[in-house]
Amino acid sequence: MGFIDANARRSFAGDKLAKHNLFETAQMFCDVYCLEPGQAQKPHAHAGATKFYFVLDGRGTFSVGDATRELGPGELAWSEPGESHGVANTSNARLVLLVAMAPNPNASK
């Protein structure tokens, strides 16, 4: 077990969304994504893994499968294995997300 100050892992990049790893195990990973206005993660899917986006700050437009919804602080979007998902910061403010996926597709097999 470990302890992390997730607020200390927040930083933004001008050219694309910034991903900051909080922790990673063979079972899952947990990141903080920081998106400036206009930045996005294109819809994509992960075979065999469930992923969620939890909004910490700001508002964003999330797609899961054929559905699209705007979410704000305290709201969550999640996708089932193989289901397309993505996020775009369509607001005029910064967007910060807690993101986790299990099982971890980066883990050695």
The per-residue pLDDT string of the chain (109 residues; one tens digit each, 9 = 90 and over) reads 799 999 999 999 989 999 999 999 999 999 999 999 999 999 999 999 999 999 999 999 999 999 999 999 999 999 999 999 999 999 999 999 999 999 998 876 5
Instruction: Please tell me the predicted confidence (pLDDT) of residue 1.
Output: 78
Instruction: Please tell me the predicted confidence (pLDDT) of residue 107.
Output: 78
Q: CA–CA separation, 94 vs 12, rounded Å?
A: 9
Q: Residue 5 burial by CB count (10 A; 0-12/13-18/19+): exposed, middle or buried?
A: exposed
Instruction: Please tell me the predicted confidence (pLDDT) of residue 108.
Output: 62
Instruction: Please tell me the predicted confidence (pLDDT) of residue 33.
Output: 98
- Residue 52 in tokens: 């969620």
Q: Are 99 and 33 in contact (CB under 8 A)?
A: yes
> By C-alpha distance, which of 37, 43, 73 is closest to 56?
73
CATH code of 16-47+56-86, in short, is 2.60.120.10
CA-based torsion, 51, 54, 60, 66: positive or negative = positive
Instruction: Please tell me the predicted confidence (pLDDT) of residue 106.
Output: 80
Instruction: Please tell me the predicted confidence (pLDDT) of residue 105.
Output: 85
Beta bridge partners of 89: none
Q: CA–CA separation, 107 vs 103, rounded Å?
A: 8
Instruction: Please tell me the predicted confidence (pLDDT) of residue 28.
Output: 96
